[in-house]
Amino acid sequence: MPTIALLGTGLLGEAIGQRLLQQGLSLRVWNRTPARCNSLLEAGATAIGDLNGAAHGCDAVITVLRDGAVTAEVVQALGPLQGTTVIPMGTMGVGESRALATQTAEQGGDYLEAPVLGSKPQALNGTLLVMAGGSDAVFARHQGLLKHLAETPQRVGPVGSGAATKIALNQLIASLTHSFSLSLRLIQQAGVPVETFMEILRPSALYAPTFDKKLQRMLDGEYSDPNFSTALLRKDLLLFLSEAADQGLKADGLQGVAALLERASDTELDAQDYCALHELTQ
């Protein structure tokens, strides 16, 4: 039975841990706030008290942490990583992931970035979308593990390609949410019934399923119980803008969305579902 160390048991990390336990894997868990591991401990996981040496005897270390800097710090604290593969599933920059791969190698371990698209519901039923970056050999070795979380995990290329794919997708979350919010505001102010607008939109090439997924929340102004928060959306959009600038891409059109999201900082919107962006477009 594979033994996995899971570092980071927030909303997504906890769901990933529950899924791995349900699939019969042996799980060790850690979070900076230990109480956030309680549900996993009750489900059969073992607590990691000290990070130093915690990777010993583990087939893989999965990290689901806030960003690249935090992930690098936590992985460094593990010490020697011989016989272990570090698999970060959180969102980080391309350069951050490549630097973490180098760091992991210096600590004696292997590395496979595997950011995911999806949140708690998809993690619990094993339908996350996994975009892995790393060598064919390391991906093949851990494909069985990834299949517990995704129906068809994909290797998209070398280290850095998975990170790039993830932030490219998260940029679409911001762009689509913002554009849909603006369209809703405009048609409502013009007196067009929302359902009439949706009946025209749904069969068109312009439609994205996320529009219906978030429509009722936007109409009701109800953004509690998020699977992905406004604060995390802002972080990831800023990360995309940084990567775009490094690549010489013209992303000026996104600067306005980023500025809009900055208005949520230090407000109740930050901890709410990211479609609370709708409150900022009026």
The pLDDT of residue 111 is above 80: yes
Contact 28, 3 (CB under 8 A): yes
Share of the chain above pLDDT 70, in %: 100
Q: What is the mean pLDDT of residues 181-189?
A: 98
Residue 194: count of CB within 10 angstroms of its CB: 13
Instruction: Report, as an integer, the average pLDDT of 172-189.
Output: 98
Q: What are phi and psi of 63, to 5 degrees?
A: -115, 135
- Distance between CA 98 and CA 102 in Å, rounded? 6
Chain mean pLDDT for the chain? 97
| pTM over 0.85, yes/no | yes
**pLDDT for 261:** 97
Over residues 189-198, the mean pLDDT reads 98
Domains within the chain, CATH numbers bracketed: 3-157 (3.40.50.720), 163-280 (1.10.1040.10)
The span from the CA of 194 to the CA of 252, in Å, is 30
Supply the pLDDT for residue 78. 98
Beta sheet of 46-47, edge-to-edge order: 46-47, 26-30, 3-7, 60-63, 85-88, 110-111
Could you tell me which residues come within 8 angstroms of residue 60 by beta carbon, excluding any fewer than 6 positions away?
2, 4, 5, 84, 85, 86, 87, 142, 145
pLDDT, one tens digit per residue, over 206-215 is 999 999 999 9
Assign 171 a pLDDT band (cuts: 50, 70, 90).
very high
What would the pLDDT profile of 229-248 be if each residue is shown by its tens digit? 999 999 999 999 999 999 99
Check whether 1 has a pLDDT greater than 80: no
Q: Distance between CA atoms of 147 and 130, rounded to whole angstroms?
A: 9
Share of the chain above pLDDT 90, in %: 99
pLDDT at 158 over 90: yes
pLDDT tens profile 34-65: 999 999 999 999 999 999 999 999 999 999 99
